[in-house]
């Protein structure tokens, strides 16, 4: 068999994918329907008991919220950096990268110090006379959301920034010369051009959030469990087939949501291109 030499470059990635993604996924599917005989009982249990549906729905909600918050905060930051002189851009990007180099575990523990009953925020509130009793901030959904946004935000800033550096700023100037007001130039020229990169960042963050484990486990209460926590819980209990079924559901949900987000994003892009915001 003769192969075009360039195709050989593809081989390492294909092998890697087959060994570490395709085969294990297949194994996961198999484990979820064999225990040890073929049975769909694990999926039935998943969809019949309200609690598991609640957890799935919550995982999607939290992940969407994190992705949207990261975008709302990250986009202007990236825009601001993009406008700075070259040297200052490097410094600012470096500052954003530093926290990313720290492990998620450490950053999550840091939030415990910040949000605890004897933590920084509560002590500050008490010192300023706002509260007499410590406010329960740890083990709440707010704590999980704040920490997840803080942990994932650099990714969105960097993705947006990368998309923005591609845009020729002369296009904005051209729009201004042709009579567009600054806001118009931004909404009708800059925004659509940066939209694709922003959407990519949003989808990446959504995807990462869907599988988040440490942060909800350490900062959340019982009501903040996500699918990944449920999977770990079942693995600990040696209910491996049930854990596999949960894994399959997580995979399917994530892929389905990504498709939806992408389609939604494209529709939005078309609307903006046609008539502006």
Q: How many angstroms separate the Cα of 248 from the Cα of each of 86, 102, 104?
A: 46, 30, 25
What is the nearest approach in angstroms of other proteins to the Cβ of residue 243?
Answer: 12
- Measured at the CA of 17, the angle between CA 157 and CA 2, to 5 degrees, comes to 120
- Give the x/- contact pattern for other proteins in 107-136, rule: CB under 8 A: -----x---xxx-----------------x
Nearer to other proteins, 27 or 54 (CB): 54
Record the tokens describing residue 133, joined without a space: 């009793």
What is the nearest approach in angstroms of other proteins to the Cβ of residue 120?
Answer: 13
- Give the x/- contact pattern for other proteins in 220-249, rule: CB under 8 A: -xx--x----x--x---x------------
Could you say whether residue 55 binds other proteins (CB under 8 A)? Answer: yes
Beta bridge partners of 38: 34
What is the nearest approach in angstroms of other proteins to the Cβ of residue 58?
Answer: 10
Would you give the DSSP letter of residue 224? G
Q: Hey, CA dihedral for 80, 85, 90, 95, is it positive or negative?
A: negative
- Give the x/- contact pattern for other proteins in 23-52, rule: CB under 8 A: --------------------------x-xx
150 near 64, Cβ under 8 Å?
Answer: no
What is the nearest approach in angstroms of other proteins to the Cβ of residue 50?
Answer: 8
Record the tokens describing residue 215, joined without a space: 């942060």
Q: Quote the strand ranges of the chain, DSSP E.
A: none
Q: Which residues bind other proteins (CB under 8 A)?
A: 49, 51-52, 54-55, 112, 116-118, 136, 138-140, 221-222, 225, 230, 233, 237
């Amino acid at each position: 068999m003769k192969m075009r030499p360039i195709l050989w470059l593809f081989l390492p990635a294909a092998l890697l994918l087959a060994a570490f993604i395709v085969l294990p996924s297949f194994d996961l599917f198999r484990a979820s329907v064999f225990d040890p005989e073929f049975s769909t009982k694990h999926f039935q249990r998943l969809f019949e008991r309200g609690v598991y549906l609640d957890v799935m729905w919550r995982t999607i909600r939290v992940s969407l919220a994190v992705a949207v918050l990261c975008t709302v905060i990250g986009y202007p930051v990236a825009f601001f950096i993009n406008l700075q002189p070259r040297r200052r851009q490097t410094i600012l990007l470096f500052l954003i990268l530093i926290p990313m180099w720290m492990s998620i575990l450490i950053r999550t523990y840091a939030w415990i110090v910040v949000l605890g009953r004897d933590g920084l925020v509560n002590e500050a509130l008490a010192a300023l006379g706002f509260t007499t009793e410590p406010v329960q901030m740890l083990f709440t959904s707010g704590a999980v959301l704040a920490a997840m946004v803080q942990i994932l935000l650099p990714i969105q800033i960097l993705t947006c920034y990368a998309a923005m550096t591609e845009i020729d700023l002369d296009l904005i100037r051209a729009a201004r010369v042709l009579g567009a007001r600054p806001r118009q130039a931004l909404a009708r020229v800059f925004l659509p051009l940066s939209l694709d990169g922003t959407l990519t960042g949003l989808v990446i963050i959504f995807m990462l959030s869907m599988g988040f484990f440490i942060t909800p486990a350490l900062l959340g209460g019982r009501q903040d469990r996500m699918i990944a926590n449920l999977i770990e819980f079942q693995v600990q209990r040696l209910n491996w087939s049930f854990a596999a079924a949960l894994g399959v559901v997580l995979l399917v949900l994530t892929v389905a949501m990504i498709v939806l987000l992408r389609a939604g994003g494209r529709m939005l892009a078309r609307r903006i291109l046609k008539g502006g915001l």
